[in-house]
């Protein structure tokens, strides 16, 4: 049973470009969470999605960031016009039900140059 998959594992973008991060949840999981880890910090919640719905986006920056979890395919975290401060590790987690145990992917490390 494959775990949570994230790709790419490493992503380098120049300032102003777009970054697209993908997350495939564990088989049987329909709940996806995105977290961001800045250097020397713990993980900060960004957004919680179920298939085709954003349930809680209280941790998402108001501008440039968006997330989706379509009926088919992986969840996507999209960052438009990246800035140096977006450099971080972005982790995806999935669960089988609301409030269920969250299983984490290996993360995508975004570097903005």
Which residues contribute to the site for other proteins (CB under 8 A)?
A: 4, 6, 31, 33, 35, 40-45, 48, 55-56, 58-59, 91, 93, 98-99, 101-107, 109
Report the nearest approach of other proteins to the CB of residue 41 (Å). Answer: 6
Specify the residue, 6 or 24, whose C-beta has the smaller distance to other proteins. Answer: 6
Specify the residue, 96 or 104, whose C-beta has the smaller distance to other proteins. Answer: 104
CA distance linking residue 95 with residue 97, whole number of Å: 6
Neighbours of 73 (CB within 10 A): 10
Report the nearest approach of other proteins to the CB of residue 97 (Å). Answer: 11
Q: Residue 91: which residues within 8 A CB-CB, separation 6 or more?
A: 6, 34, 35, 36, 37, 43, 104, 105, 107
């Amino acid at each position: 049973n494959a775990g949570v998959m994230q790709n790419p594992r490493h992503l380098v973008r120049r300032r102003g470009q777009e970054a697209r991060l993908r997350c495939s949840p564990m088989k049987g999981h329909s709940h996806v969470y995105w977290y961001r880890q800045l250097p020397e910090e713990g993980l900060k919640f960004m957004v919680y999605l179920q298939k085709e719905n954003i349930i809680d986006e209280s941790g998402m920056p108001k501008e440039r960031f968006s997330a989706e979890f379509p009926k088919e395919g992986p969840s996507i975290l999209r960052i438009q016009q990246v800035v140096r401060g977006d450099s971080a590790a972005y982790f995806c987690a999935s669960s089988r039900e609301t409030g269920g145990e969250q299983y984490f992917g290996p993360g995508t490390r975004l570097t903005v140059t």
